[in-house]
Amino acid sequence: MTTQSPLSDRLVTVFGGSGYIGNYVAQSLLGRGARLRIASRNPERSHSLKPLANLGQLQFARCDVQNADSVAAALYGADYVVNLVGSFSGDLEKLMGEAPGHMARLAKGNGASGFVHVSAIGPDASSSAAYARGKARGEATVREAFPNATILRPSIVFGKDDNFLNLFGQMIEIAPVLPVFGPEAKLQLVYADDVAEAVAIALEDPAAHGGHIYELGGPEQLSMMAINQRIAVAQGRKRRFIAMPDRLSALFAALPLTPMSKDQWTLLKPGSTVSGEHRTFAELGIEPKPLGLFLNKWMTRFRRFGRFGLSAHRNKEREARGLPPVPTGAGAEQPTPLGSSSGERA
């Protein structure tokens, strides 16, 4: 017998719900029977969620989180609140520092039962990066206004349609030689679905999870160099990666129109891994999934000849060793996901 979620038929306002992580969070909450109000500057970006919702289960509200009246309207009648707002541009002190405090204050005044604030690993009020300072300020203002709020700090979030793996995938597809910035920086990449599940579980039981900080990292720590190498292997491509010195990396990040901002470089250098000082996925009952479970499948579109590309690459290697080729097409041998011994595929 299936147990009904405490979120069933309860209204959850999700600020920033039209963003990348918002899509995953919305699906997790809809699956639990919650009624959702997606509050965003561009709510139409989340209209793709409509087929997943029952009649009356999904609302869209155009909202400016820096406008108190707009936030109050989005919070009207909400039983629970999730804040996913984040950016590397604009006034980050207001957007990620002050605005979350206003949300939390109004939610508390309206009698909301739970508040989940999604921050990031490494908030630092004294950092030279405005992003880290904004995240630190946001956590402080939320906890001051809503002491029982749950703070989630994910590492870099990955998924099939992210702007992280796909950016490197595109570059590795095209260029035979690539620079790697912060090659030794360790990241604990975390799957978007796991972060979404953490949000839902935290909302379901504020008594157990409220007032705590959770650092969310995947099951393995990978260097930037290792991540690039894994992507190349998943594409079946031989690439040369050059470890870039910090001085050149900093200069590159300071230039306009580059894919990495100064703040992003500042945050990359120390890496993004759980500190061991706070709760993690374990206390939420979640076993995070490794990158290797998905990477081969997701890199198919970057391979030469698509889904047949890796088989062709492997057959060349077999031929060089005097071995018979493995047939491609239906019934062909499928690549085992990197980092997985079971061969399970997503």
- The H helix count followed by the E strand count for the chain is 14, 13
CB 39 within 8 A of CB 15: yes
The Cα–Cα gap between 228 and 226 comes to 5
Neighbouring-strand partners of residue 14? 38, 82
CB 16 within 8 A of CB 83: yes
pLDDT for position 2: 66
Contacts of 259 (CB under 8 A, 6+ apart): 167
pLDDT for position 324: 76
> H or E element: which one contains 264?
helix 262-268
Neighbours of 222 (CB within 10 A): 22
CB 82 within 8 A of CB 25: yes
CB 194 within 8 A of CB 214: no
For residue 270, CA distances in Å to 68, 138, 146, 207, 253 come to 36, 21, 30, 34, 16
pLDDT for position 258: 85
CATH number, domain 11-162+189-217+274-287 = 3.40.50.720
Question: What is the SS3 assignment for 279-340?
Answer: ECHHHHCCCCCCHHHCHHHHHHHHCCCHHHHHHHHHHHHHHHCCCCCCCCCCCCCCCCCCCC
The Cα–Cα gap between 20 and 146 comes to 26
Beta-strand runs (E) in the chain:
11-15, 35-40, 58-62, 80-83, 114-118, 150-154, 157-158, 177-180, 186-187, 190-191, 213-216, 222-223, 240-243
The Cα–Cα gap between 52 and 58 comes to 9
pLDDT for position 308: 72
pTM recorded for the entire structure: 0.88
pLDDT for position 328: 52
pLDDT for position 24: 97
Residue 131 phi/psi, 5-degree rounding, is -60, -50
pLDDT 10s per residue in the chain (346 long)?
Answer: 568 999 999 999 999 999 999 999 999 999 999 999 999 999 999 999 999 999 999 999 999 999 999 999 999 999 999 999 999 888 999 999 999 999 999 999 999 999 999 999 999 999 999 999 999 999 999 999 999 999 999 999 999 999 999 999 999 999 999 999 999 999 999 999 999 999 999 999 999 999 999 999 999 999 999 999 999 999 999 999 999 999 999 999 988 888 888 899 999 999 999 999 999 999 999 999 999 999 999 999 999 878 776 666 666 666 767 777 766 544 444 444 444 433 333 3
CB 290 within 8 A of CB 220: yes
